[in-house]
Amino acid sequence: MCKWCMRHGAGGKWYLNARNYSNELAESMNLQAYLEEQWKNFEQVYIRKIMGISSIDLGNKLKMPIIGRILRWSVERMIHSESLNRNPVRADGHFGQVIPIEEAKLIMMNLAAEPIIKNYCMCRMMQKGLKDACCINFGLLSSVIEKLPRFIPENSKLHITREEAVEALKEQNLKGRIATVWFQPVPYINAICSCEVPQCGGLRLRMDFGLYTVYKAEYVAEVNSDLCQGCRSCISRCQFNALRYSPTLERVIIDPIKCFGCGLCRDVCPQKAIILTPREEHPGLKGKY
């Protein structure tokens, strides 16, 4: 399991620890003011300065030999901060992990604190100008977001039931969206997003710059060579370039190093030839998230 499971998983996966969703945890961390400040200024996350460097120039600076290493350390420290003095406008301590659809459903039905809302995705609004209600937030964060009109869907319900949340997740899965669960801030969990590369800000920072804003899933996809008929339905679903078709073998091959374990390829396979196996069972992938 990833290091966050060791710190906040109570012996299991961090996002399956019920305490991390509790109102008691949110109250003990005094998160009301933090979340209000973060979401009131959410747009600034995309233009924030780190060590005096604009996020617009971040990619070029990260490639520089010395300043790049220092900058990466500073950014990672901010992203994963567990400090009592975290900066809400920079979204300190806000990061997530890819999860397959079955675990997203489990969270919504059994762990997420109420109230539950479905609201506009900030990433898609900022990067594409799209008003797409594909984010599900819950617990204390719901009461914060519902006071901010720009996040409220115009033509759909804001407050939803657990069952409606599961249906919304299934709908996004069918569209080829990746489910991610989020600390906000660590160790409090209050969101499951369904987005895609490159619109998802977290996935984009991970893919483009190698920053651990989003961790790979606890799983990796594998192909059963006896079942795969080489239809290639799965390839277009992968946003991480982890799948390719082999004309020689007449079947699909998955690169486990590139695989994020989202399960989208598995979910669309008509032959049920793809399964998800625990990442920790692969010697070359153990501890690599």
Write the DSSP assignment of the chain as a string of letters. Answer: --HHHHHHSTTS-GGG-GGGG-HHHHHHTTHHHHHHHHHHTGGGGGT-EETTEEGGGHHHHHTSHHHHHHHHHHHHHHHT---TT--TTTTTT-EEEE--HHHHHHHHHHTPPSPEEEE--HHHHHHH------EEEETHHHHHHTT-GGGS-SSS-SB--HHHHHHHHHHHHHTTPEEEEEESSTT-EEEEEEE-TTT-HHHHHHHHH--TTEEPPSEEEEE-TTT-----TTGGG-SSS-EEEETTTTEEEE-TTT-----HHHHH-TT--EEEEEGGGSTTTTT--
Which range, of 59-63, 118-122, 143-147, 202-206, averages the lowest pLDDT?
59-63
The average pLDDT across 38-57 equals 66
Residue 52 has pLDDT above 70, yes or no: no
Q: Please tell me the predicted confidence (pLDDT) of residue 46.
A: 57
Residue 50 has pLDDT above 60, yes or no: no
Determine the Cα–Cα distance for residues 36 and 143; give it in Å rounded to an integer: 9
Residue 227 in tokens: 């079942």
What predicted TM-score, i.e. pTM, was given to this entire model? Answer: 0.93
- In the chain, % of residues over pLDDT 70: 94
Determine the Cα–Cα distance for residues 59 and 65; give it in Å rounded to an integer: 13
Q: 219-281 belongs to which CATH class? A: alpha beta
Helix 101-110 vs helix 162-174: angle between axes, to the nearest 10 degrees?
A: 170
Domain boundaries, the chain: 3-41+80-208, 219-281
Is residue 5 within 8 Å of residue 93, measured between CB atoms? no
Segment 250-259, tens digit of pLDDT: 999 999 999 9
